[in-house]
Amino acid sequence: MDNSSTPSCPFCPFSDADVSFLEMHIEFCHTEDGVPQTLLPGVHGLDTSQTPSPSPSPSATTDVESTEKYVDCPHGCGETVTAAELATHLDLHVAEGIAFDDGADSTPFNADLGPSDDDPSFDQEDKLGLEAAFKGGKRGADRDFARKNNNSRPARAKSPPRTRGLDGAMRLGRSELGPHAHEKKMPSWLKKMLEKGGRTSKQTQITSDGKLARHTTVENETDHLIPVIAKLCEQDKTVQRAFLCNPKVRHICKLSREGGFCGYRNIQMLVSYITKSRCLGHEQFPDGVPTILDLQDMIEQAWDMGFNSTGRTETGGIRGTRKFIGTPEAQALFQSRGIPCDASSLSASEGIPASDKLYMNVATYFRSACSLDDEETKVFQTDCPPIYFQHQGHSMTIVGFEIRDDGSANLLVFDPMFKTSPAISRLIGTSARTENPVRLLKAYRRGTRYLQKYKLFELLKLRTGPTPTSPESIST
């Protein structure tokens, strides 16, 4: 946890004990003339002058959104985040840029977004709770939101009273749907970019048996990353044990200037697992991973069928807009297509922080898929599907979990906000040997220091077996 003796950035709240890392942050995230305007929304990133300002809803005057401060990322990635999240967002850009080298610089620094070895925020009681989860102890209490019909959705964070629809649902605002909550239509240039998708290229490679194979790659999609992360965890001496999901999931990140479509990108990652592993429901995606615009159509169709249909009132409709989506929309899409999934919510209770509940839940999920009798095994490769993971304002895909030698833990995630670094890409298909695995893993780790800022988490897990295909048959 940061303190007064920790060097800090003069332009934003970011701080780090490693001076060289802090210098990299300043060079990478801030312009030469300084950025006193970085705390003012609308001056960086996308040209907002070409985007019509949405008309506020009747309830906007009483909405929390009136005090919500959104900031365009000064790095120019096109993302719009809350002012409170800016420092973390910039820190992750640094993690993204660090791996332009191979991590050969061994200068010590806080290598993840969780607690470091000397972080006082992670005490012995936290460690005991994690050890209990790791050894098969009581699972953290969670709430099952697979309720019947329109109520089968995780609860959303509430705002002050707004317009209520005929179905009894409240219209949400900027605090839940993002800065474009009242947008009728996204800019035409953005729609065209999403229709076109990422640039593709074809490469010819020599296979292990000496044959030539031609591969098509997409600029914002990276396959075969899980084996690389597994090898890096194996090399990291601070990792006691690590668990990883099925390696067939693909990391899909946003395009340049795309903005906040993280929910859709995470759905795409789950679909990439479904299609490549050919598990239940893969025939629902005959053309591969759907585009964001296709997913919007699928969610609207799910609402038409009665799955989580209050989402239409809450959002005012999402087709052709940049409104944020969340776990209810992901759940509606999968259930409407006969793909079984379970949604749950985790919050603090009985003195246990929400972040510890999350750790215990995820640890149990991966632990149940493997045997821990082999004490020699450090990294477990499981067949578990990846997990859709949501917290206030952002979502990611959980692809693994690790326990450190000091008892602390990290989630391993694919964050759609950040692209795969060149150094990581170079390790794909190799032995992935590197002098500093910690630096390369930084972009994939989310620890207590990051998670403890949030009081509520939502998870969506795919499962095998038969599933109801009509809203009337969904049970609690």
Distance CA 307, CA 468 (A): 11
- 215 neighbors 203 (Cβ within 8 angstroms): yes
List Cβ neighbours of 292 (8 Å cut-off, separation of 6 or more).
194, 261, 264, 265, 268
- Over residues 384-407, the pLDDT tens digits come to 999 999 999 899 999 999 999 999
C-alpha closest to that of 255 among 202, 196, 299, 214: 196
Cα-Cα-Cα-Cα dihedral sign, residues 27, 33, 39, 44: negative
- Over residues 38-69, the pLDDT tens digits come to 322 222 222 323 333 333 333 333 344 444 56
| CATH fold of 114-473 | Cathepsin B; Chain A (3.90.70)
- 403 neighbors 130 (Cβ within 8 angstroms): yes
Distance CA 178, CA 175 (A): 6
pLDDT at residue number 183: 86
Global pTM value = 0.70
Q: Which residues of the chain have pLDDT under 50?
A: 1-3, 31-67, 100-112, 114-152, 155-160, 465-476
pLDDT at residue number 246: 96
